[in-house]
Chain A
Amino acid sequence: MTLRESAPRHIPWSEPTALQIVHAHLGEQGPLLPVLHALQETFGYVDPLAIALVANVLNLSRADVYGVFSFYSDFRSTPPGELRVQVCRGEACQSVGGRALAEHATSSLGVDFGATTTDGSVTLDEVFCLGNCALGPSVAVNGQLRGRVGADEFDRLVHPGTSNIGFA
């Protein structure tokens, strides 16, 4: 199975579905973060239209909801690429070539951290530690952890057609 095939399936933004999601969390204490997570899991991002909708149902101000949405780096307002690639920039990974890998990642994909390639295939994110600090440099692709990732391995993971989960 390729990483691309393992990509989470997102559905296009839909207000009725979003409403259902928010309502499903109404009984919870402090539902806002679980709601934002659930919206992003379903649609791949939190559509700007969702802010008012969530505020309405949870009886919060739009500013409150937007404030929370924007505080947390996980939440995004645009659809992600097919692959979400997180490159670890933490110190343990730095000690084994993480800085070079981060540079390679941006130049190889031609985008900065936080951006998506123009063909929509890859979203590149930075992350400070993936909990794989004895096997760095570490990368996560769609949430799947990869250790000891050098430049070649990185390209194999992210470039279309070549990304394969297998370890030969």
Chain B
Amino acid sequence: MTTVFVPRDSAARSVGADEVAAAIETLATQRGASVEIVRNGSRGMMWLEPLVEVVTAKGRVAYGPVTPGDVADLFAAGFLDGNPHGLSQGLTDQIPWLAEQDRLTFRRVGLVDPLSTEDYQAHDGLIALRRALTMTPGQICDEVTESGLRGRGGAGFPTGVKWRTVLDASGPSKFVVCNADEGDSGTFADRMLMEGDPFMLIEAMIIAGIAVGGREGFIYIRSEYPDAVATMRAAIQRAYEAGWLGPEVLGSEHQFDLKIRVGAGAYICGEETAMLESIEGRRGMVRAKPPLPAIEGLFGKPTAINNVLSLASVTVLLTHGATFYRDFGVGRSRGTQVFQLAGNVARGGIVETAFGITLGEMIDRFAGGTASGRPVRAVQVGGPLGAYLPPAQFDLPLDYEAFVNAGAMVGHGGIVVFDDTVDMAAQARFAMEFCAAESCGKCTPCRVGAVRGVEVIDKIIAGQDTAANVVLLEELCDLMAEGSLCAMGGLTPLPVRSVLRHFADDLDQPKGVHP
């Protein structure tokens, strides 16, 4: 029996993984070959999807990108024995792009059958939870703080400090909420983790519950991710059956129950207080802070709310110890970040690496330049509220503080590359347009400012009073940055200003004529 892996990840399926799996099954039957197909998560090398892996005595051998039409040829070449073929990528673990990463959070994604509890435990699953069960809540919070872990959802707040606040808050009932809204364009790591290693998130939620004294958790997943929702639901059911969730977590005195909530197409519900409103059954309107959700959160109870990757990182640091985790990274950005290479790149996907790698290394070494083969002109880091950076800034290290000092942000780690055909005036306009479309409407600088921003940029693009309108746009950005209640209106000026600063030519002579 030969084991063949074909990803079930929705990105792999978006380019034909299901059809490839079906073709392998059909041909195996025809040829009398004994094959077991396992649908794993994706290894995150998106340009090689669908990536088929065959288990051989030497290790897992990779072939990709495979189309259903290639399958007969692969059989003829003897791919079930790992034999050479034009699509062969050699041993998966030795593909330099993968081998040069520090896969900690993503260590199991693509390796295991996502819904197998046996596989999970055979690959270090539950070690962190078993350890947490021997610790006091305070010790868990301290260890998370010592690791230097900061929130991966965008704001970079120390996770251990947040948990400690919830732990110290009084009240018999507290909540743990996972922010799986992943609204930032150019990001897909939360989705891939949920589809490829759902038990890791479940384990992390239980640990968070123990650490803050909460017995109930919600995972809020955006509706644009139906496969992640289905995988998480199936995994939660299995975790209950296995006694990981429920009244006695792993036979202990701890109780933890976990539910899924599905979003409904509102970007603002990724903002933590809007998310709480949404779970409570209201419009996703941002709440004024204070009170912090840690003190008065879901249904008025103390609530720890964390991004998928922040939570997943906790299982890593509890498995290997705070020091191990903190030893990755630079300055105040400790550990690894799961970067996502997206857009016009030759080699897109998941690059998990220690903080501190430069943007240029990321683009040259990992992304391999653009998919179009044209020169890179701009890179947007950190989603729709992140700055556009020109190649002149490629020596910037990917580090929270270095990016803030450069008028940019690392955010959730999305890196979107544009070639020289991009019209940066259009990108600045889009930033305002997006804010206008997704604003919750609670405060004027954002609600009205974004609409005005689109109008002003339209005038600039039309060549009307360019100089005066650019000044007006700058003032509008100041107003939004200073007067908005949350980072939606507060950070929309970031991409707009970055265009004014680095790509002013496109505003002076717009319409995308940039040879």
Q: Which residues of B contact A165 (CB under 8 A)?
A: 18-19
0 or 1 for each of B3-42: is its CB under 8 Å from A? (1 = yes): 0000000110111101100000000000000000000000
Contact, CB under 8 Å: A133 / B185: yes
Min CB distance B98 to A, Å, is 15
- Complexed CA–CA distance, A72 and B264 (Å): 5
- Complexed CA–CA distance, A147 and B7 (Å): 15
Within 8 A of A (CB), among B410-467: 414, 416-419, 422, 426-427, 430, 434, 437-438
Within 8 A of B (CB), among A126-168: 127-136, 138, 140, 143-148, 165-168
Q: A91-B185, A95-B343 are in contact. Are A131 and B11 (CB under 8 A)?
A: yes
0 or 1 for each of B60-71: is its CB under 8 Å from A? (1 = yes): 000000011100
Within 8 A of B (CB), among A52-92: 64, 67-68, 71-75, 86, 90-92
Contact, CB under 8 Å: B188 / A167: no
Contact, CB under 8 Å: B15 / A95: no
Does B244 lie at the interface of the complex (its beta carbon under 8 Å from any beta carbon of A)? no
Among the 9-residue stretches A11-19, A33-41, A104-112, A115-123, the one with 4 or more Cβ atoms under 8 Å from chain B is A33-41
- Total A residues in contact with B, Cβ cutoff 8 Å: 47
Does B151 lie at the interface of the complex (its beta carbon under 8 Å from any beta carbon of A)? no
Contact, CB under 8 Å: B224 / A134: no
- Return the contact of B262 from the options A37, A131, A144, A168 (Cβ within 8 A): A37
- Return the contact of A32 from the options B46, B226, B265, B281 (Cβ within 8 A): B281
- Complexed CA–CA distance, A153 and B268 (Å): 32
Task: Name B's interface SS.
Answer: mixed
Min CB distance B47 to A, Å, is 7
Contact, CB under 8 Å: A129 / B184: yes
- Total B residues in contact with A, Cβ cutoff 8 Å: 66
- Complexed CA–CA distance, A127 and B266 (Å): 10
Does B494 lie at the interface of the complex (its beta carbon under 8 Å from any beta carbon of A)? no
Most B-side CB within 10 Å, residue of A30, A33, A92, A168: A92
- Complexed CA–CA distance, A128 and B225 (Å): 12
- Counted as pairs of residues, one from A and one from B, with CB atoms less than 8 Å apart, the total is 161
Contact, CB under 8 Å: B188 / A133: yes
Q: Which residues of B contact A135 (CB under 8 A)?
A: 11, 14-15, 46, 49, 348
Q: Which residues of A contact B417 (CB under 8 A)?
A: 95
Contact, CB under 8 Å: B343 / A136: yes
Most A-side CB within 10 Å, residue of B14, B280, B371, B414: B14
0 or 1 for each of B374-403: is its CB under 8 Å from A? (1 = yes): 000000100010000000000000000000
Min CB distance A1 to B, Å, is 10
- Complexed CA–CA distance, A143 and B345 (Å): 25
Does A96 lie at the interface of the complex (its beta carbon under 8 Å from any beta carbon of B)? yes
Q: Which residue of the partner chain A has the closest CB to B185?
A: A90
Q: A75-B264, A134-B349 are in contact. Are A95 and B224 (CB under 8 A)?
A: no
Q: Which residue of the partner chain B has the closest CB to A146?
A: B14
Contact, CB under 8 Å: A68 / B283: yes
Within 8 A of A (CB), among B173-227: 182-188, 191, 223-227
- Return the contact of A147 from the options B15, B227, B344 (Cβ within 8 A): B15
Does B299 lie at the interface of the complex (its beta carbon under 8 Å from any beta carbon of A)? yes
- Complexed CA–CA distance, A167 and B183 (Å): 29
Q: Which residues of A contact B283 (CB under 8 A)?
A: 67-68, 71
Chain B positions within 8 Å of A, measured between CB atoms, are 10-11, 13-16, 18-19, 46-47, 49, 67-69, 182-188, 191, 223-227, 261-267, 278-284, 299, 340-345, 348-349, 371-372, 380, 384, 414, 416-419, 422, 426-427, 430, 434, 437-438
Please list 14 pairs of residues, one from A and one from B, whose beta carbons are closer than 8 Å in the complex, sorted by A's number.
A32-B282, A34-B261, A37-B262, A74-B263, A92-B414, A95-B418, A99-B426, A128-B183, A129-B185, A133-B186, A134-B11, A135-B46, A145-B14, A167-B19
Q: Which A-B residue pairs are the 8 nearest by beta carbons?
A: A134-B348, A90-B185, A32-B281, A72-B264, A167-B16, A133-B342, A95-B343, A147-B14
